[in-house]
Amino acid sequence: MSRPTPLRDIHESLGATLTDFAGWLMPLRYGSESAEHNAVRERAGLFDLSHMGEIFVTGPQAGQALDYALVGHLSALAVGRARYTMIVNEQGGVLDDLIVYRLGDEEFMVVANASNYPMVAARLTERASGFDAAVEDRSDQYALIAVQGPKAQEILATLTDADLEGLKYYAGLPGTVAGAEALIARTGYTGEDGFELFVANADAAPLWHALTKAGEPYELLPAGLSSRDTLRLEAGMPLYGNELNSSLTPFDAGLGRVVKFDKPGDFVGRAALEPIKDVPPRRRLVGLVATGRRVPRHGYPVTKDGVVVGEVTSGAPSQTLGKPIAMAYVDTGIEEGLAVDIRGSQEAVDLVELPFYRRNK
């Protein structure tokens, strides 16, 4: 039985197509996926992300505990700032990718993916046991609503007195939005400017309605998981379970920059990761642009002269580029002459560096 978010009634009233995602009943789309995608690129879209996990790490040694538990240097994070990081196993394989917010000197919030947050909470609890720090999974207490797109700041500014202009990318501040106490974070998963609003469950529906009304002059649209996936794909952002999994290291995914070997002390996975930090991986994560109209999909083989040299991890038609695009792991050193085996047909693709799309700042 899929678990509903606090906004289920609203999604149903809007005629959303609901689907199971990581055990949650989530809106796949409300109408046209392409309209929702384009709304975010051109104006603004509204997302329910209440399936994400919120895990709090508090105490005098909370920062040191996270330094040991994760690959990043979280004790160096300034209050009010956020950082993208990962939790890995002893072999360096990625267990989840995370965003960590420092809310106070002794308080951090770790935001984990929906399918992984119970595991992340358990691993953090285990790894923090040697520190003066407490780990508490508060995911059940929070809803998460995102407004994303070039008009996101203008829309949100009508509902809050918080200093949105001064709020930097990957930063967050407490504030009141439409009367609700919220953590206002300038983060997102679309490649556009935007905000993620962490609020109590009871405040989710009134906040959604307020954002919808405030967004009417800007033609804001509610947006589902389908458009969120095509938006993040264009932006070259990894999805756990596709581009990231426990058999891949951060270096395999081209994200070795998140691993901080210069932080004090040991961390889980260090012994496995340090020897490979300067070794090119066997395969690297790249972008593929189809020359035809057929769409490369997750799991399809990438070939060169009929020999398999990689595998597609994510693929979809790109509304912004007007062509099918994909992310794939391809053997290092191979740059051209590639095709994707789409049900027995070798469909030519061009290899490009990620991301496919970068917004004008």
Q: Encode the chain (361 residues) as per-residue pLDDT tens digits.
A: 899 999 999 999 999 999 999 999 999 999 999 999 999 999 999 999 999 999 999 999 999 999 999 999 999 999 999 999 999 999 999 999 999 999 999 999 999 999 999 999 999 999 999 999 999 999 999 999 999 999 999 999 999 999 999 999 999 999 999 999 999 999 999 999 999 999 999 999 999 999 999 999 999 999 999 999 999 999 999 999 999 999 999 999 999 999 999 999 999 999 999 999 999 999 999 999 999 999 999 999 999 999 999 999 999 999 999 999 999 999 999 999 999 999 999 999 999 999 999 998 7
Our CA dihedral for 114, 117, 118, 121, rounded to 10 degrees, sits at -170
pLDDT at 341: 98
Residue 193's pLDDT is what?
98
Under 8 Å between Cβ of 335 and 325:
no
Q: What is the reported pLDDT for 100?
A: 98
pLDDT, tens only, 229-276: 999 999 999 999 999 999 999 999 999 999 999 999 999 999 999 999
Q: What is the pLDDT of residue 249?
A: 98
For β-strands 194-200 and 221-222, DSSP reports them as unpaired
Q: Using DSSP bridges, classify how beta strands 221-222 and 45-48 pair: parallel, antiparallel or unpaired.
A: parallel
Alpha-carbon dihedral 37, 42, 48, 52, rounded to 10 degrees: 80
Write down the pLDDT at residue 360.
85
pLDDT reported for residue 1? 85
Instruction: Kindly report the three-state secondary structure assignment for every residue of the chain.
Output: CCEECCCHHHHHHCCCEEEEECCEEEEEECCCHHHHHHHHHHCCEEEECCCCEEEEEECCCHHHHHHHHCCCCHHHCCCCEEEEEEEECCCCCEEEEEEEEEEECCEEEEEECCCCHHHHHHHHHHHCCCCCCEEEECHHHEEEEEEECCCHHHHHHCCECCCCCCCCCCEEEEEEECCEEEEEECCCCCCCCEEEEEEEHHHHHHHHHHHHHHHHHHCCEECCHHHHHHHHHHCCCCCECCCECCCCCCCCCCCHHHCCCCCCCCCCCHHHHHHHCCCCCCEEEEEEEECCCCCCCCCCEEEECCEEEEEEEEEEECCCCCCEEEEEEEECCCCCCEEEEECCEEEEEEEECCCCCCCCC
Nearest-5° Cα angle at 195, 51 to 75: 80
Q: Are 149 and 42 in contact (CB under 8 A)?
A: yes
